[in-house]
Every structure is written in structure tokens, then in C-alpha cells.
Amino acid sequence: RDCSYFLTEKGCLWSCGLNNYHQLGHPGITKLLVPTKVQFRQIKDRKITHIACGRFHVALIVDDGQLFTFGLNAGHLGHPKTNDLYIQQPLLVTKFNSQSEYVQKLVCSDYA
């Protein structure tokens, strides 16, 4: 909501806008008026290949097929063992990490 994301050909994510639900990937910042590169500890040198956005959350697929989500954690991020209301930076969705299958495409929505 009230934010934008840009995925470069090098697999880097940039974001700007309001960060009311910690969906920009920039912890501790309430708004960014210009696109700013998102620095992810867990992703490091891997390329982001796909991004999907909901109203208050974001999901990413990286080049090895792993799925990461962040933003408002109201049960739709795939992190059942955390009580955190907000996930401020991409967190690995371990359900798919432990399977022999990896996520190839994804879609996010406002109302599921």
C-alpha cells in the first residue's frame, strides 16, 4: 500500500514509498521518497528472480528457488512459528526449503 518496488536485471530489489507495515524491506524507516536498494542479509549474493506484492506484504523468489516473504504477518507470510506482527526483512519460508520442490511462480493478494 502506497509503495513501489523495482526489480533490476541483476536481480536487485529497490523500493520506495510508505513503510507503515514494514513492507519496504528497510527496517526502522517510515518512508522513502526515492527508490533505495534493499539490503538483505539472508539473500546476499543470490539474484531475485520474481516478486509479488500484496497490500501489506511482499514475496520473493531467488535464483535457487527459495521463497522469502516480509511485511505484515497476519498469517499470509508462511511463517507459522513466529509471533512477530511485522517481518521487516525477507525471511525464508522453510516449508518449501525442506521439500524437494521449489517455488517457481507466486501471486499475492489483498484478500484471500
User: Residue 96 has what pLDDT?
Assistant: 76
Cβ–Cβ under 8 Å, residues 93 and 77: yes
pLDDT tens-digit series, residues 40-81: 877 778 899 999 998 899 999 999 889 999 999 888 888 877
Report residue 26 CA to chain centroid gap.
11
CA atoms within 13 A on the CB side of 101: 4
Query: Residues 87, 89, 93, 98: what is their CA dihedral angle, to the nearest 10 degrees?
Result: -130
The residue type at 99: Q
Mean pLDDT is lowest, of 32-41, 67-76, 80-89, for 80-89
What are the residues whose beta carbons fall under 8 Å from the beta carbon of 102, sequence distance 6 or more? Answer: 64, 65, 66, 67, 96
The yes-or-no verdict on residue 84 having pLDDT over 90 is: no
User: Residue 112 has what pLDDT?
Assistant: 54
The residue with cell 520442490 is 101
Using alpha carbons, select from 16, 9, 59 the residue that is nearest to residue 38.
16
Question: In this structure, what DSSP letter does residue 97 have?
Answer: H
- For residue 35, name the pLDDT band (cuts at 50, 70, 90): very high
Mean pLDDT value across the chain: 87
- For residue 106, name the pLDDT band (cuts at 50, 70, 90): confident
Question: In this structure, what DSSP letter does residue 98 have?
Answer: T
